[in-house]
Amino acid sequence: MAKPVVGIQMYSLRDQTEIDFLGTLEKVSKIGYTAVEFAGFFKTPAIELKSKLKELGLTAPSVHVPLNFSDSKHMESDFAGQIEYAKELGVSYIITPWAPLPEQPSKDNVKYLIDVFTKCAQQVRAAGMQYGYHNHEFEFKLVEKQPIIDQLLSGIPTELMMMEFDLGWVHIAGYKPADYLKKYKSRVPLVHLKDFSKGLRDAEIGQGEVGYSQLLSELEPAGVAYMFVEQEQFASSSLESAANNYKFLKEHGFA
């Protein structure tokens, strides 16, 4: 086992990337991050982005690719185009960042997602990459007395779908992130580090209520290879918070 690589989900810096995508990657590298996870490419050709990553010494193991749930007829073909880009970029994991669920989900809703994710996983696997899912808190709602997330993971073979647990959202859902890391040990190569203060407001890592000072020690035993900082609200600026988050992780021996 090895300590997870410290990365950042680029959505955290969307106010910067919208202005200068490649320039923001340079700033990320200067802070000290060695990995990035994308949530959009701003029409940048894959070959150009791959070259920039190499120049900066950054790795991009994963990308977030939303599925076109609003148009099921074109979901597969739309996804195929994203897979092609990701393959050219050289990533290892394609992650679905969100899926629709009603306020009171049913077993049929769960079965629908299992079917969709299984088909997506087969597409990704055929292209030589791995497929995964990233949670929020609503996937922990109970259907027939069992959290939906557990039903998804039991309904899809491990070799088809890995999990990118967002540890902050697991906490908000009322569960212990450490318990889920242990339960799905070796099925969680990636995690999101997201912290929350009271009132569901984003906080810098270690400044909220999730308890990362203790939780970080659970990552390596669970087989986590990459941890990505994610933050959407900032006391000062996205770049300042990105630097503070990196500093926290470095102080805890992860950079």
Q: What is the DSSP track for 104-161?
A: S--HHHHHHHHHHHHHHHHHHHHTT-EEEEE--SGGGSEETTEEHHHHHHHHS-TTTE
**What pLDDT sits at residue 255?**
83
**What pLDDT sits at residue 199?**
86
Q: Are 173 and 165 in contact (CB under 8 A)?
A: no
Q: Are 147 and 110 in contact (CB under 8 A)?
A: no
Q: Are 160 and 128 in contact (CB under 8 A)?
A: no
**What pLDDT sits at residue 235?**
92
- CATH code where residue 247 lies: 3.20.20.150
Total number of domains constituting the chain: 1
C-alpha distances (whole Å) from 77 to each of 72, 123, 188 are 10, 10, 27
Q: Are 160 and 169 in contact (CB under 8 A)?
A: no
Q: What is the mean pLDDT of each run of 10 residues along the chain (255 residues)?
A: 94 98 98 98 98 98 97 96 98 98 97 98 98 98 98 98 98 98 98 95 97 98 98 96 98 93
Q: Which amino acid is at 115?
A: D
Query: For residues 131 and 116, what is the distance between their CA atoms, to the nearest angstrom?
Result: 12
**What pLDDT sits at residue 247?**
98
**What pLDDT sits at residue 136?**
98
Please state the three-class secondary structure of the chain as a single string: CCCCEEEEEHHHHHHHHCCCHHHHHHHHHHHCCCEEEECCCCCCCHHHHHHHHHHHCCEEEEEECCCCCCCHHHHHHHHHHHHHHHHHHCCCEEEECCCCCCCCCCHHHHHHHHHHHHHHHHHHHHCCCEEEEECCCHHHCEECCEEHHHHHHHHCCCCCEEEEEEHHHHHHCCCCHHHHHHHCCCCCCEEEECEEECCCEEECCCCCCCCHHHHHHHCCCCCCCEEEECCCCCCCCHHHHHHHHHHHHHHCCCC
Q: What is the pLDDT of residues 29-84, one digit of tens each?
A: 999 999 999 999 999 999 999 999 999 999 999 999 999 999 999 999 999 999 99
Torsion-angle region of residue 176: left (phi > 0), alpha (psi -120 to 50) or beta? beta
Which residues constitute the domain of residue 238?
Answer: 5-251
